[in-house]
């Protein structure tokens, strides 16, 4: 568009130079019109000017699949509420170059269930952090079937578009207690997000409690997250040893990723001699379970 307007200006000046003498008012009007076009061309675009620069844009993507019962889902939500109110999180935000971040809270389950619980919010101090925590606390929990980490990643990546913020760092924070079992292949979704400059961090919840519906738990979820979910410069995960450990894990994770540090090893160490599950292990597990007709 700008190139076309420059052409119009050039041609107008050429026409003015070669034209026969005109009444004084017409060249004056033409000149004023050209000046107006030049002013438009030199004015920054409104979309870019409206974007608010922050240190970090963070998508908190939270699993609400039925592998959790309502009490466990409540523990996860309470962990986020307490973490956002914690002074360590507020201090990490305030110590950033700009002293502010933008955060949104998303809940996800199956391939077609992603819901924005709290829209993009700028957090720069204790009061704005408490307000965001209160907004999380007031959203309703809806548990759904299936687990689509890939759907959560794709939805999270879309949330960065046209959100009114810009930053050098963009992170999707995936927390959940199971592998991808429906929707696109998780590695494909992850790699597409990484190619656009998004970093994915993870918080796998290791849970040995049998599920109420009889669906088996997934062994070695930490290894699965490490190989198949997280990625990008400085990406990391923090493992929660059960739902009661989630509050500790999410606080540590938020402080680390807001500060932009590469974390030390988590207290729950990855055991190198364990067999590493393939990235389609969740789909294989679901297919085998459905073949028995018990789900």
Q: Considering only residues 29 and 263, tell me which one the structure prediction assigns the higher pLDDT.
A: 263
Statement to judge: residues 17 and 73 lie in one domain = no
Statement to judge: residues 79 and 166 lie in one domain = yes
Q: What percent of the chain has pLDDT over 90?
A: 64
pLDDT surpassing 50 at residue 99: yes
Q: Alpha-carbon distance 111 to 108, whole Å?
A: 8
Q: Considering only residues 285 and 198, tell me which one the structure prediction assigns the higher pLDDT.
A: 198
pLDDT surpassing 50 at residue 41: no
Statement to judge: residues 73 and 168 lie in one domain = yes
Domain that holds residue 13: 2-43
Statement to judge: residues 176 and 66 lie in one domain = yes
* Mean pLDDT (whole number) for 104-131: 96
Statement to judge: residues 115 and 13 lie in one domain = no
Statement to judge: residues 201 and 168 lie in one domain = yes
DSSP character at residue 236? -
Statement to judge: residues 121 and 220 lie in one domain = yes
* Mean pLDDT (whole number) for 206-210: 80
The CATH number assigned to the domain holding 170 equals 3.40.50.410
In the three-class reduction of DSSP (H, G, I as helix; E, B as strand; rest coil), residue 68 is classed as coil
* Residue 232 near residue 198, CB atoms below 8 Å: yes
Statement to judge: residues 143 and 122 lie in one domain = yes
Q: Alpha-carbon distance 225 to 231, whole Å?
A: 10
Q: What's the domain count of the chain?
A: 2
Statement to judge: residues 21 and 100 lie in one domain = no
pLDDT surpassing 70 at residue 27: no
* Confidence grade of residue 29 (pLDDT, cut at 50, 70, 90): very low
pLDDT surpassing 80 at residue 295: no
Statement to judge: residues 16 and 86 lie in one domain = no
> Strand order of the sheet with strand 114-123?
114-123, 101-108, 56-63, 169-176, 199-204
Statement to judge: residues 78 and 202 lie in one domain = yes
Least confident of 9-13, 171-175, 248-252: 9-13
Least confident of 56-70, 119-133, 159-173, 279-293: 279-293
Query: What was the pLDDT predicted at 272?
Result: 54
- DSSP strand E in 142-246: where? 165-166, 169-176, 199-204
Statement to judge: residues 14 and 110 lie in one domain = no
């Amino acid at each position: 568009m700008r190139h076309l307007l420059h052409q119009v200006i050039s041609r107008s000046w050429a026409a003015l130079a070669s034209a026969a003498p005109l009444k004084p008012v017409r060249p004056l009007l033409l000149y004023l019109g050209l000046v107006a076009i030049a002013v438009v061309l030199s004015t920054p675009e409104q979309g870019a000017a409206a974007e608010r620069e922050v240190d970090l844009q963070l998508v908190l993507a939270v699993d609400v699949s039925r592998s959790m019962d309502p009490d466990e889902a409540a523990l996860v939500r309470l962990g986020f509420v307490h973490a956002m109110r914690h002074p360590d999180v507020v201090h990490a935000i305030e110590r950033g170059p700009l002293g502010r971040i933008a955060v949104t809270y998303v809940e996800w389950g199956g391939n077609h269930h992603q819901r924005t619980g709290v829209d993009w919010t700028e957090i720069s101090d204790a009061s704005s952090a408490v307000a965001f925590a209160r907004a999380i606390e007031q959203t309703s929990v809806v548990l759904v079937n299936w687990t689509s980490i890939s759907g959560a990643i794709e939805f999270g990546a879309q949330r960065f578009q046209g959100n009114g913020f810009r930053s050098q760092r963009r992170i999707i924070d995936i927390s959940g207690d199971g592998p991808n079992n429906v929707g696109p292949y998780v590695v494909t979704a992850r790699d597409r997000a990484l190619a656009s400059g998004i970093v994915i961090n993870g918080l796998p919840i290791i849970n040995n409690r049998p599920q109420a519906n009889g669906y088996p738990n997934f062994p070695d979820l930490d290894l699965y997250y490490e190989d198949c979910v997280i990625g990008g410069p400085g990406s990391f995960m923090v493992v929660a040893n059960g739902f009661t450990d989630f509050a500790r894990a999410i606080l540590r994770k938020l402080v680390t990723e807001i500060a932009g540090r590469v974390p030390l090893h988590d207290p729950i160490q990855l055991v190198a001699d364990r067999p590493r599950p393939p990235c389609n292990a969740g789909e294989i597990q679901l297919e085998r379970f459905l073949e028995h007709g018990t789900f």
